[in-house]
Structure 1
């Protein structure tokens, strides 16, 4: 099997951009993450009804915009008319939904890395999403600044058929780590395992690290509660507020040189 890229994963990755301080999954949230020193972000991508890939988490519009209804029924022209910032605060009024193209251009200009999650909506095709996203991702960013993840295994398998591990690092995304985790990783030639930090055990963490995979945890925002996870060998924490970890560093033997 081809080797994975030499990815210099940071200890802290900004979840949906700096989502504790800016509207999630927006260009503003990514710029804010960059401004506090984050070099990687985690973002979500899914398709509008007309097939345009956009950076968005929910299947619906209500929580993070002034719109309503399902994202899958929206056209790009309609999406451009939405305000996706004012729900978070008046300072963000007028923020527009980011397309994948918009976001990749920004990430490239800032030399940032991205853990991009394929969000496969109800009655939508994971292979269609991968077909749309993967070529654009590979055209814009180098492999060393990419991890593609998803809960949808069909989407990941299709993505893997489009590029080998040297070009496309893949992360297995799971809420809890089941006994089949290693077979799933092997089948995808995965780079990393991404899991809910509250469900991770020391035993599972040791198994993953001993098998040679990177281990990322979402979404810790309490550095004191998370401290033992660094000792378990976790590589990166995907946090809404990475700055809150500033005063509580991982153990010295775990800090990247």
Structure 2
């Protein structure tokens, strides 16, 4: 089945422009846009009250001045924490963003979004998909949205909510499994996203030749990554994609 085209760039900002702004915040999205990057990768999870929010870790400690597990927090509690000052004083006062707020900013800026369904241990992948997918479908057009996850259950449920002509899905993995084709076929995936340091040339070429978009995370050294472009890699997810621009790599 030929899938509609997603306008994936060669360079995507990881968790927003996370080398220059606090990750997974509205500030990081705006920083990516200001730097000229058209797509960002962000993580979505559910708070304890069911609110989908943009956040990577299962808890608050690393990226805020607060403590607590997301699974135990209500939105009004999570909003009490500063999620910017840990990065730099200029971001003091930044608050956790909901998915709804984030999608509104993405639509306003005309940006593309790779939304990762982040399923922490003990959390419900289907509930996350049911909360996030309808919001994404309503907010952004097909060509500017992509959903990825390490969780097969989250991807499978996402596909049950939207067919391949309505939603592009990406299989996230560390090392590419031998059975990658079966995983792709099972959900009619558009892309595979892997750890660039674990990528092998033979497998990369197989994926590219099969017409599957191959994205690599989290590459921050354009010289070390250089050979992978010749293997058929379609794009890089980077904390600092500006380094690739400086090395002569274009976005398209």
TM-score bracket, normalised by the shorter chain, equals over 0.9
Q: Deviations over 1:164-212 (max 9, x none)?
A: 1111000000000010111000001000000000000110100101111
Query: 1:102 is matched with which residue?
Result: 101
Provide the aligned C-alpha RMSD in A.
1.1
Distance in 1 (CA, whole Å) between partners of 2:154 and 2:30 is: 28
Query: What pairs with 1:13-24 in structure 2 (closer than 5 Å)?
Result: 13-24=12-23
C-alpha displacement at 1:5, in angstroms? 2.3
C-alpha displacement at 1:7, in angstroms? 1.5
Is 2:83 the partner of 1:79? no
Query: 1:241 is matched with which residue?
Result: 240
Query: 2:208 is matched with which residue?
Result: 209
Distance in 2 (CA, whole Å) between partners of 1:205 and 1:248 is: 22
Distance in 2 (CA, whole Å) between partners of 1:181 and 1:91 is: 43
Q: Deviations over 1:99-130 (max 9, x none)?
A: 00000000000110011000112211100000
Distance in 1 (CA, whole Å) between partners of 2:248 and 2:214 is: 17
Query: 1:64 is matched with which residue?
Result: 63
Distance in 1 (CA, whole Å) between partners of 2:95 and 2:130 is: 25
Distance in 2 (CA, whole Å) between partners of 1:66 and 1:162 is: 36
C-alpha displacement at 1:80, in angstroms? 1.1
Query: 2:131 is matched with which residue?
Result: 132
Query: 1:111 is matched with which residue?
Result: 110
What SS is found at the alignment partner of 2:246?
Answer: coil
C-alpha displacement at 1:79, in angstroms? 1.0
Query: 1:180 is matched with which residue?
Result: 179
Query: Which stretches of structure 1, 4 residues or more, deviate above 3 A after TM superposition?
Result: none
C-alpha displacement at 1:21, in angstroms? 0.5
Query: 1:150 is matched with which residue?
Result: 149
Distance in 1 (CA, whole Å) between partners of 2:7 and 2:193 is: 16
Q: Deviations over 1:17-46 (max 9, x none)?
A: 000000000000000000011000000000
Q: Deviations over 1:63-111 (max 9, x none)?
A: 0001112111110010111100000010000000000000000000011
* Aligned positions, number: 252
C-alpha displacement at 1:249, in angstroms? 2.8
Query: 1:222 is matched with which residue?
Result: 221
Distance in 2 (CA, whole Å) between partners of 1:142 and 1:170 is: 14
Query: 1:25 is matched with which residue?
Result: 24
What SS is found at the alignment partner of 1:245?
Answer: helix
Q: Deviations over 1:125-164 (max 9, x none)?
A: 1000000000000000001001100000001000001111
What SS is found at the alignment partner of 1:144?
Answer: helix
